[in-house]
Amino acid sequence: MSSSVPPFGIKADHPRNCDLVIQGIPGCRLRSRITASRTVTTKGHEDEQVIPPDQSRHLGVLPEIPGMELHVNPEKGTYKIIDPLHGNKRILNRIQRGLEQDERPFRGVKFDGVPPKEGTLDKHRMKTLCRELCQLLEVGHVAIAKGPQPDMEDIDELDGNFLLNPGARVSNSQPMFEEDLEEYNAKVNEVH
């Protein structure tokens, strides 16, 4: 697999503390950075307003919880998912102390972060994943954790084709690649 996209890593940092479901890796869900002090504004709209903080405001006694990371090497077709909480006794103890400061349902429960996971992807899925991560960077749902921010023009030049529905978990009659969708739609319309 040849690549003009160097290895890079992102960390989940959604403005509303939401988990991110990464379609390019089946079953991949990244916990976002969680902070109780987030507020969201609707900048750029005539009726600009402050949207109240999300449900994390109830977590005020907890320290900031770092977002999970996803590192990719497009040339090798590899990825690695890292949870900064996993094995981090210092922050896990701070979270535990915060939970025990008042009556919480998780009181006394010991937990750890998600163990690291790594794998390989074929060239089509890797190309599609890189574009997905680039789009998440553009909208501010993730931040760069390591390496340079990928460029869409370089991603377009990667070997392979973009998958039409990388998150599909059941077989369907859709074409595998986006480039085949127009022909597929034309055939479907002929039938009707």
pLDDT in tens, 139-155: 999 999 999 999 999 99
What average pLDDT does the segment 38-47 reach? 54
The encoded tokens of residue 40 equal 């969201």
Instruction: Looking at the structure, tell me whether residues 51 and 143 fall in a common domain.
Output: yes
- The answer to whether residue 2 sits within a structural domain is no
When the pLDDT of each residue in the chain is averaged and rounded to a whole number, the result is: 85
- In this predicted model, which residue has the larger pLDDT, 16 or 52? 16
Q: What is the pLDDT of residue 98?
A: 77
- Find where tokens 């003009």 sit: 4
Instruction: Looking at the structure, tell me whether residues 155 and 165 fall in a common domain.
Output: no
- The answer to whether residue 3 sits within a structural domain is no
What single letter denotes the amino acid at residue 29?
Answer: R
How many CB atoms are located within 10 Å of the residue 61 CB? 14
Instruction: Looking at the structure, tell me whether residues 44 and 119 fall in a common domain.
Output: yes
Q: What is the pLDDT of residue 134?
A: 97
What single letter denotes the amino acid at residue 68?
Answer: M
Instruction: Looking at the structure, tell me whether residues 133 and 169 fall in a common domain.
Output: no
Q: What is the pLDDT of residue 46?
A: 59
Instruction: Looking at the structure, tell me whether residues 146 and 74 fall in a common domain.
Output: yes
Instruction: Looking at the structure, tell me whether residues 84 and 177 fall in a common domain.
Output: no
Q: What is the DSSP letter of 188?
A: H
Q: What is the pLDDT of residue 16?
A: 87
Q: What is the DSSP letter of 77?
A: T
The CA distance from 105 to 51, in Å, is 27
Q: What is the pLDDT of residue 185?
A: 83
- In this predicted model, which residue has the larger pLDDT, 128 or 3? 128
Instruction: Looking at the structure, tell me whether residues 76 and 90 fall in a common domain.
Output: yes
Q: What is the pLDDT of residue 58?
A: 57
pLDDT band at 173; cut points 50, 70, 90: confident
Q: What is the pLDDT of residue 183?
A: 82
- The answer to whether residue 125 sits within a structural domain is yes
User: Which residue range(s) make up the domain with 189?
Assistant: 161-192
Instruction: Looking at the structure, tell me whether residues 89 and 152 fall in a common domain.
Output: yes
Instruction: Looking at the structure, tell me whether residues 133 and 178 fall in a common domain.
Output: no
pLDDT band at 101; cut points 50, 70, 90: confident
The answer on pLDDT for 6 being more than 60 is yes
Instruction: Looking at the structure, tell me whether residues 109 and 184 fall in a common domain.
Output: no
- The three-point CA angle 186-26-17 to 5° equals 105
Instruction: Looking at the structure, tell me whether residues 175 and 128 fall in a common domain.
Output: no
pLDDT in tens, 48-97: 555 555 555 556 667 889 999 999 999 999 999 999 999 999 999 888 88
If one counts the domains in the chain, the total is 2
